[in-house]
Amino acid sequence: MRRPLIAGNWKMYKLPSEAGDWLTELLASLPRNGRAEVLINVPATHLAAMVRALGDGPVALGGQDLSAHDEGAYTGEISGAMLRDAGASFVIVGHSERRAYHREGDELVNVKLLAARRHGLVPILCVGETEAQRDAGDAEAVVLRQLERGLAGLELSEGTGLVVAYEPVWAIGTGRTATAEDAQQMSATVRNALEGLLPRHADEVRILYGGSMKPANAGELLAQPDIDGGLIGGASLDVTDLVTIVRAA
């Protein structure tokens, strides 16, 4: 019932001038009528070129962060309305790199998530524990706290308006991946918590796994019952790798 979502995260890689050709190559390589929805989250500067290359092609575009504010004197910020107007339909909130390098806490992540919804963007809420937290036996508590605080005040009229990405911090960009069993277990824990937080919609929310997903491990991860797709950094920069993951979904 949940359509798999394969979501790339380009982080701060590639140039706007490279993005259009890359997307054209992706469109030519994607399976026709594939099962998975494909999304690429790019720097806001890349959206215009990608919208041009996309035409009415079957790929969604997203941002990697948004301002908590709707508009105003906030130099350097990019609002949800700007992303939407530029062609994005999704946006990542609370990525661990923003939590770590920009000190974004759960409260700010929550305000950003609500801002995304206000502007018609589907938020992808990232949650995940550090290695120290996992070693201390706190992984579940950390993830559930991030989930509960990140979703505070959210009202869904339809569950497809939210995506949650479980991304163990120690697996992001490291080449280390959670085992399929551990990733499934945490995703089931998230699903269970969603039943309390968003009654009636928990079954519709897509839960992604993120953390060094690549062609070699995607099949096993994506076969888990509560893993509905992937949030993919490094491997999403390469068309061949990304298409292989899309085919595995």
Per CB under 6 A, contacts with ligand PEP among 193-212 are 210-212
> Binding ligand PEP by CB under 6 A: which of 36, 221, 232, 242?
232
- Between 87 and 233, name the residue whose CB sits nearer to ligand PEP: 233
Active site residue 201: no
Q: In whole angstroms, give the CA distance from residue 59 to residue 57.
A: 6
> Binding ligand PEP by CB under 6 A: which of 65, 167, 228, 241?
167
Name the region of 95 (left: φ>0; alpha: ψ -120 to 50; beta: rest): beta
Of 95, 97, 129, 201, the catalytic one is 95
Q: Does 4 bind ligand PEP (CB under 6 A)?
A: no
Q: Does 93 bind ligand PEP (CB under 6 A)?
A: no
Q: In whole angstroms, give the CA distance from residue 109 to residue 126.
A: 9
Q: Does 183 bind ligand PEP (CB under 6 A)?
A: no
Number of residues counted as binding ligand PEP (CB under 6 A): 14
CB of 230 to ligand PEP, least distance (A): 8
- Between 104 and 167, name the residue whose CB sits nearer to ligand PEP: 167
Kindly state the DSSP code that residue 136 receives in the 8-state scheme: T
Cα dihedral 103, 155, 64, 192, rounded to 10, equals 80
> Binding ligand PEP by CB under 6 A: which of 233, 241, 246, 248?
233
Give the phi and the psi of residue 231 in degrees, each rounded to 5: -105, 115
- Between 61 and 156, name the residue whose CB sits nearer to ligand PEP: 61
- In this structure, which long-range contacts are made by residues 213-218, counting pairs with CB atoms below 8 Å and at least 24 apart in sequence? 213/177, 213/245, 214/177, 214/241, 214/245, 215/241, 215/244, 215/245, 215/248, 217/177, 217/180, 218/244, 218/245, 218/248, 218/249
Of 37, 97, 129, 167, the catalytic one is 167
Active site residue 167: yes
| Nearest residue (beta carbon) to ligand PEP | 233
Q: Does 9 bind ligand PEP (CB under 6 A)?
A: yes
Cβ contacts of 146 within 8 Å, gap of 6 or more: 94, 106, 109, 125, 127, 128
Active site (catalytic) residues? 95, 167
Instruction: Name the site residues for ligand PEP (rule: CB under 6 A).
Output: 9, 11, 167, 172-173, 210-213, 231-235
